[in-house]
Amino acid sequence: MRNSTIKAMLLGAMLLASTVVHAQYAWIDEKGVRHFSDQPPPTGTPASKILKGPRSATPAGDAAAPAAPAPPPAPAAPARAAPSLAEREADYQKRRAQAQLDEKKAALAKKDADNRRENCAAAARDKAQLESGRRLRSQQNIVMTEEDKAREQANVARVLNECKAAS
């Protein structure tokens, strides 16, 4: 019997503490919009516009109101209506098309980078062969002359310089 009484008292104390912790405010702003929050209304809100506050707290507009007059309200921006379903769909399609375009650009950039790496590696292999001092043959199976070799070395050097500049 005594144990159940203690449990009931503890439960009652926790319920009482939870109502204080979850204090709710309700007020109407200057545009007539009703707000609900766990935070007090903005300072300067007239007490007549505060609909609900915690029992132990005073409304934010009463105690925290400054002695000086409040500044004049800023001109209200024109209210923008919520977008219609068709506008939201068009916006979604636009974002989707942009995402696909971005994916294509990324894929092309990756492919371009892969090709560049491949060309640089091939140029490095060609340079090593050209500088080896061995006799080389062209793709048509003709022995390369010194002029052909020099021309090929210049091309390889140009490609390698481009590779260094890109990195």
pLDDT digits (tens, 9 = 90+) for 5-64: 888 888 887 777 665 556 588 889 888 888 888 888 888 888 888 888 876 455 444 444
Assess whether 38 and 98 both reside in one domain. no
- DSSP character for 155? H
Stronger pLDDT, 45 or 1, i.e. the higher one: 45
Q: Contact 60/42 with Cβ under 8 angstroms? A: yes
Assess whether 91 and 49 both reside in one domain. no
User: In the prediction, which pLDDT does 23 show?
Assistant: 56
Kindly report which listed range (28-42, 129-143, 151-165) carries the lowest average pLDDT score: 129-143
How, if at all, do strands 50-52 and 34-37 pair?
unpaired
In a domain, 76, yes or no: no
User: In the prediction, which pLDDT does 60 show?
Assistant: 46
In a domain, 16, yes or no: no
Distance, CA of 123 to CA of 152 (rounded, Å): 10
Q: Which of 62, 60, 70, 76 is nearest to 26 (CA)?
A: 60
Stronger pLDDT, 93 or 8, i.e. the higher one: 93
Q: What is the mean pLDDT of residues 110-118?
A: 92
User: In the prediction, which pLDDT does 9 show?
Assistant: 85
How far is CA 40 from each of CA 24, 25, 72, rounded to the nearest angstrom? 8, 6, 22
Q: Contact 119/163 with Cβ under 8 angstroms? A: yes
Residue 40 sits in which domain range? 23-57
User: In the prediction, which pLDDT does 61 show?
Assistant: 44
Assess whether 44 and 104 both reside in one domain. no
In a domain, 43, yes or no: yes
**Average pLDDT score over the chain:** 80
Distance, CA of 33 to CA of 4 (rounded, Å): 47
In a domain, 139, yes or no: yes
Structural domains counted in the chain: 2
In a domain, 14, yes or no: no
In a domain, 97, yes or no: yes
pLDDT digits (tens, 9 = 90+) for 68-86: 556 666 666 666 788 888 9
The dihedral over CA atoms of 70, 71, 74, 75, expressed in degrees to the nearest 10, equals 90
Q: What is the mean pLDDT of residues 130-159?
A: 82
Distance, CA of 15 to CA of 77 (rounded, Å): 44
In a domain, 62, yes or no: no
Whether the pLDDT of residue 87 is over 70: the answer is: yes
- DSSP character for 139? T
- DSSP character for 34? E
The dihedral over CA atoms of 157, 160, 164, 167, expressed in degrees to the nearest 10, equals 160
In a domain, 51, yes or no: yes
Assess whether 104 and 159 both reside in one domain. yes
Confidence of residue 99 (pLDDT cuts 50, 70, 90): very high
